[in-house]
Each structure stands twice: as structure tokens, then as C-alpha cells.
Structure 1
Amino acid sequence: MDARTCLIVDDSRIIRKVARRIVEGLGFEVDEAADGSEALAWCASALPDVVLLDWNMPVMDGLTFLRRLRALPGGDRPKVLFCSVEAAPDRIAEALAAGADDYVMKPFDGEILHSKFAEVGAV
């Protein structure tokens, strides 16, 4: 069986680094993108199993990326975890309505990410 893959999309290098360590610990191969546009280019060539997605990024934000991902052939397959400081219930509802599978508040730790991955059936 091929290794499961996760694309971490965040404009913060620090967040990507922390998330990478946690996600690799869950047994995933990890790729990183600094914004939604870069992430969409990744997904156009190879869809990951899971996308850990920041909301507020330059170039293309997380919500725009998510809508475009879901419109790609097979773009309904990756599990998408929105990962943001956005705590307003209407913003969370908007992310879920756009096709996110779950929502993770920043800051997160390994335990939180593991339980969220488990909830969406990724681990």
C-alpha cells in the first residue's frame, strides 16, 4: 500500500514545520504549500489524502482554494481540515459548507491533530 499523503497549506513556515512533524508522526508523507495557488498546483498533479488548510493567506485564501479543489476531477476525495484562528461559528459553518471535513483551531498540538485526523477517517 502506498504511503498516505498530506498537503500542509499555510503561509507561516513555522506552522508548516510544526504541523509537518506531527503529521509525519501519524505516518504520512508530507508536502507543503505557502498559499492556495501553490496548493492548487500540487493538487492538479497529485491529489493528497489529507489537506491541512490555513484560512488567511496571500495570493489565494483557504476558502477559495477549497472551492477550487472540490471542483477538480477527484477533488471530492481528499479530507480537508481547515486550520485557523477563525473562531466565529459562522466562519466555521462557511468553511464546512464550502467542503471542509472538519475544523482545527490554532494553536493545535499533536493530540488535537491526531483526534481530528481520526474523526475524518484519515488515520
Structure 2
Amino acid sequence: MEQQEGAAMNILVIEDHRDIHDNLLEFFELRGHAVEGALDGLSGLHLAASKRFDAIILDIMLPGIDGNQICRSLRQY
């Protein structure tokens, strides 16, 4: 299903640096998107696997499990 231009998206942000995480959430929320966030890899993987997101913004260097491992795990679904 394609996203229409200007339509709200459901976005997941997985970022361990609190200021970057919070800024990204605010940026997308102010533009009308539904945004959820995780501050570590395991929480991010759990969220990504349990809900449908239109886009995932994924940091590579994360505590618990890194972004590359998360990406590999999600591709198996």
C-alpha cells in the first residue's frame, strides 16, 4: 500500500541519544505524523516487531542490540 503525498505516516525512531531521539519525535509529530520511540535496541526491536510502521529511523550504534542486528531480524519477518 503506497503512502499518499502529505498523508500522515506511522514512524518508529530507535535512537539512544536522548536529545536526538526527542528532536526527531518532535520534528515528525509537528508535521502530523504518529511517532513512537525507543532508546535502546531491544526495546526498538520489540516495538518494530509488534506493530506496523511506515518508516523506521534506526541508529546503528545502540545499547543491547545494534541497528544492523535489528535490521537483519526485521527482514526475516
Q: TM-score range by the shorter chain?
A: 0.7 to 0.9
Aligned to 2:63: 58
Q: CA deviation at 1:3?
A: 4.7
1:32 to 28, 37, 44: 37
Give the unaligned 5+ runs of structure 1.
Answer: 73-123
Secondary structure, counterpart of 2:69 in structure 1: helix
Q: CA deviation at 1:71?
A: 1.0
Q: Which has the higher contact order (CA 8 A, sep 6+)?
A: 2
Alignment of 1:14-33 (within 5 A): 14-33=19-38
Matched AA of 2:66: D
Give the unaligned 5+ runs of structure 2.
Answer: 1-6
**Stretches of 4+ moved more than 4 A in 1?**
none
**Alpha carbon RMSD of aligned pairs, Å?**
1.6
Matched AA of 2:9: R
- Rounded Cα–Cα distance in structure 2 between residues aligned with 1:35 and 1:65: 11
- Rounded Cα–Cα distance in structure 2 between residues aligned with 1:27 and 1:71: 30
Q: CA deviation at 1:68?
A: 0.5
TM-score norm. by structure 2 comes to 0.81
- Rounded Cα–Cα distance in structure 2 between residues aligned with 1:26 and 1:68: 30
- Rounded Cα–Cα distance in structure 2 between residues aligned with 1:53 and 1:61: 9
TM-score norm. by structure 1 comes to 0.53
Matched AA of 1:43: A
Aligned to 2:3: none
